[in-house]
């Protein structure tokens, strides 16, 4: 089955307290995108943070004080760049504090509970549309050994964030070695193809997936410390 | 513009010396997928390695000797798991040596020059189809701080593997902080949505992208050592 990734245009500027589900349903209607069973609604962190009041003023030191507040653990640091673990367990630049697509003088912080946001959105969107949906909240992360940024999932509801193929066989009937696929991250990255960082398109609809399997949150994507071989940097000690 | 990701079914089992471009064109024709300008043909490492004779017999120690041969530098190690830098500069488990979707007793190694493969495929597919195409060769990599695997680009031709938005403005006219997007990795991850590890679908067509900009290879995705904050693991020294 083919998968389609549709940008959702025409959302208004989001402000604190806005009902994102209602805004998304209205924009889908205006765009002629009729919700279908198993659609995944992908929403950037930025509009979630705006709706949830997680846009804050820059301080005299710029973002440093906010980064420190948002950091649970510094993983690596080099000059201005801080790679930090957030309270959610995500490891990313500046603990997710970011100045793009917010007004001059403001910074956005990651949502407090992006899985909770995803679940709330999913329930509200399902009530409004009458179809079964998934929701993924994305942010744009770097990777240690690869240049460039990709969208990843920081919130997930209505689908398994990880698909465990252990026990499944490959096309030769041999047990698969590659066993656990980060479905929510693949969906997030696919949505990045239409969200275009400069275009201000904060929502995409991914259609054609199977959402079968027990739904799991994006928290399940966080590698636990005992599995983490790169908990601290030997090259740039914190 | 929406993006479509189509699985390409019906490819025969690939053997050394096969002409992948011819097999893909024939399978597209049988599947009723008519090549269009700016289509990106995404091909898994596995069939490239099969076509290029990079499938080898397991040794008495399983894969260890092959992993050692394919490794340029051990980045981290824990029990059986080796995180290694390959000669291409990619950092991944077991230096890309893998037993899935190859016959019992065999292992696949990464292609010697996946960017060269991508460029050769692009040229051959363009000659055969008369349209302008991109090609991405993918493999499935883990990530240090996130569970589960995602498809990434190990070869790229006909499109910029990285899209540099520096100098572009966000929707508020403010310079973008998030500046370089790993387009080829987003395409690879999107293709993972239809390739389904257990289904033996080794090719996908991604349609609807802009391939504008100077084409760059997947080699451009490799973070150079001087930028690498996680060159060695402090937690699992090699």
Whether B167 contacts chain A with CB within 8 A: no
CA torsion sign for A78, A79, A81, A82 is: positive
- Neighbouring residues of B58: CB distance < 8 A, sequence distance ≥ 6: B99, B105, B106, B107
- The 10s digit of each residue's pLDDT in A156-166 is 999 999 998 77
The CATH code that applies to domain A4-52+112-222 is 3.30.1330.100
Give the per-residue pLDDT at A174.
Answer: 65
What pLDDT sits at residue B198? 56
Query: How would you class B180 by CB atoms within 10 Å of its CB: exposed for 0-12, middle for 13-18, buried for 19 or more?
Result: middle
CB contact under 8 A, A172 and B1: no
Q: Do A5 and B2 touch (CB under 8 A)?
A: yes
pLDDT of residue A37 exceeding 60? yes
Residues with Cβ within 8 Å of B134's Cβ and at least 6 positions away in sequence, in order, are B38, B39, B40, B41, B122, B156, B157, B158, B159, B187, B209, B211, B215
Say yes or no for a CB contact (<8 Å) between B197 and A172: no
- Contact at CB, A181 and B2, closer than 8 angstroms: no
Interface test with A, best of B34, B72, B106, B147 (most A CBs within 10 A): B147
pLDDT at B172: 67
Residue A193 with chain B: CB contacts under 8 Å = 3, 183, 186-187, 190, 206, 209
Smallest CA–CA distance from B173 into chain A, residue: A101
Residue of A nearest to B7 (CA): A2
pLDDT attached to residue A238? 45
Using the Cβ of B26 and the Cβ atoms of chain A, whether some distance falls under 8 Å is answered with: no
Does the distance separating the beta carbons of A174 and B99 come in below 8 Å? yes
pLDDT value, residue B1: 83
B4-52+112-221 CATH: 3.30.1330.100
Residues in chain A, overall count: 238
Domain A55-110 fold:
CofE-like fold (3.90.1660)
Which residues in chain B (118-157) have CB-CB distances under 8 A to chain A? 140, 143-152
CA distance B65 to chain A (A): 18
Residues A93-142 have pLDDT tens digits of 999 999 888 888 999 999 999 999 999 999 999 999 999 999 999 999 99
| Spatial separation of the C-alpha atoms in residues A71 and A63, rounded to whole Å | 12
Predicted local confidence at residue A100, as pLDDT: 83
| Chain A interface includes B67 (CB < 8 A) | no
How far apart are alpha carbons B131 and A139 in whole angstroms?
A: 34
What pLDDT shows up at residue B230?
A: 87
Distance from CA of B129 to the nearest CA of A (A): 22
pLDDT value of residue B164: 85
Give the separation between CA A46 and CA A54, rounded to whole angstroms. 9
Cβ–Cβ contact A8 with B under 8 A: no
Within chain A, all domains assigned CATH 3.90.1660.10 are found at 55-110
Environment class of A179 (CB within 10 Å of its CB; exposed 0-12, middle 13-18, buried 19+): middle
Write the pLDDT tens digit of every residue in A148-192: 999 999 999 999 999 987 766 666 666 666 589 999 999 999 999
CA-nearest residue to A230 within chain B is: B233
**pLDDT string in tens for chain B (238-residue length):** 899 999 999 899 999 999 999 999 999 999 999 999 999 999 999 999 999 999 999 998 889 999 999 999 999 998 888 999 999 999 999 999 998 888 889 999 999 999 999 999 999 999 999 999 999 999 999 999 999 999 999 999 999 999 987 766 666 666 666 589 999 999 999 999 999 755 679 999 999 999 999 999 999 999 998 888 888 766 655 4
- The pLDDT-based confidence of A217 (bands split at 50, 70, 90) is very high
Q: Is residue A38 predicted with pLDDT exceeding 90?
A: yes
Q: Which long-range contacts (CB under 8 A, 24 or more apart) does B165-174 make?
A: B165/A197, B165/A198, B168/A197, B168/A198, B169/A198, B170/A100, B170/A101, B170/A197, B170/A198, B170/A200, B171/A101, B171/A198, B171/A199, B171/A200, B172/A101, B172/A102, B172/A103, B172/A104, B174/A99, B174/A100, B174/A101, B174/A102, B174/A103, B174/A104
Contact criterion met (CB < 8 Å) for A183 and B148: yes
A24 closest CA partner among A37, A1, A38, A40:
A40
Residues of chain B with CATH 3.30.1330.100: 4-52+112-221
CATH 3.30.1330.100 in chain A is located at: 4-52+112-222
Average pLDDT over residues A28-57: 97
Name the residue among B144, B149, B223 with its Cβ closest to that of A228: B144
CB contact under 8 A, A229 and B147: no
| Residue A113 DSSP SS3 | coil
Query: What is the predicted pLDDT for the residue at B60?
Result: 87
**A83 and chain B: CB distance < 8 Å anywhere?**
yes
> Which of B146, B199, B222 is opposite residue A185, by nearest beta carbon?
B146
CA B42 to CA B137: how far, in whole Å? 6
Task: Look at the alpha carbons of B213, B219, B224, B228 in this order and tell me if their dihedral is positive or negative.
Answer: positive
Residue A236 confidence (pLDDT)? 59
Question: ipTM for the complex?
Answer: 0.94
The 3-state DSSP class for residue A188 equals helix
pLDDT for B228 equals 87
The pLDDT of residue A188: 98
Tell me whether A98 touches chain B (CB under 8 Å). Answer: yes
Give the nearest chain A residue to B3 (CA atoms).
A5
């Amino acid at each position: 089955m083919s998968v389609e990734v549709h940008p959702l245009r025409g959302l208004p500027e989001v402000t604190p307290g806005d009902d994102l589900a209602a805004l998304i349903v209205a924009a889908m209607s205006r765009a002629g995108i009729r919700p279908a069973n198993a659609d995944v609604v992908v929403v950037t962190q930025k509009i979630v943070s705006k709706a949830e009041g997680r846009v804050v003023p820059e301080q005299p030191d710029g973002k440093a004080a906010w980064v420190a507040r948002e950091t649970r653990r510094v993983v690596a640091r080099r000059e201005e760049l801080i790679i930090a673990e957030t309270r959610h367990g995500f490891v990313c630049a500046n603990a997710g504090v970011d100045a793009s697509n917010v007004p001059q003088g403001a910074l956005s912080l990651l949502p407090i509970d992006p899985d909770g946001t995803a679940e709330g959105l999913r329930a509200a969107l399902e009530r409004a549309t009458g179809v079964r949906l998934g929701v993924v909240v994305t942010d744009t992360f770097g990777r240690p050994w690869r240049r460039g940024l990709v969208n990843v999932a920081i919130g997930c509801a209505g689908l398994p964030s990880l698909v465990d193929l252990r026990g499944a066989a490959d096309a030769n009937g041999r047990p698969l070695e590659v066993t656990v696929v980060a479905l929510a991250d693949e969906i997030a990255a696919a949505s990045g193809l239409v969200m275009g960082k400069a275009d201000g398109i904060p929502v995409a609809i991914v259609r054609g997936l199977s959402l079968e399997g027990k739904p799991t949150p994006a928290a399940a994507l966080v590698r636990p410390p005992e599995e983490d071989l790169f908990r601290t940097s030997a090259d740039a000690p914190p």
